[in-house]
Amino acid sequence: MNQGYWDRFETALGTVSVAVDDRGRVTRVSFGVTNAGGQRAAQRCRPVCDQLREYFAGTRTSFDLVLDPSGTPFQQRVWRALADIPYGTVCGYGDLARRIGNSGAARAVGQANGANPLPIIIPCHRVIAANGSIGGYSSGLRIKRQLLALERIELAA
């Protein structure tokens, strides 16, 4: 069984918590003060924290980390497709469903989006509703709006 390590840091959007396993694979990113179990270990979490800080500073548009998100095979397919959405762009839930070959699965894609254990790194904030509105976000719409603004994405009011 892998030992877990975690750390957290402050951003303009609030506290961000991260967790990695004993091999350095990122297993969790969340907003707020959370403890994913294991022990606090800033040094082990430094690569993910540093890259997220760079993202929040506007100097990083992609991540170079080894990820280990835990999820169902369907969720994994959705998350792989999410990872292909470029910085500064958005797509709809239905578009994402088509990308994974399940054109009628927009709602299921939304649920997989909400279960994403690695927000920002797997950019679920870049998925919006079919009508161009912001849609939902597991960490709240305020944070989703701020992430989209950070990437200079403007949605119609």
Query: Active-site residues: which are they?
Result: 124
7: alpha, beta or left? (left if phi > 0; alpha if psi -120 to 50): beta
What backbone phi and psi angles, to 5 degrees, belong to 56?
A: -65, -25
Task: Give 57's contacts (C-beta < 8 A, 6+ positions apart).
Answer: none
φ, ψ of residue 148 to 5 degrees: the values are -65, -40
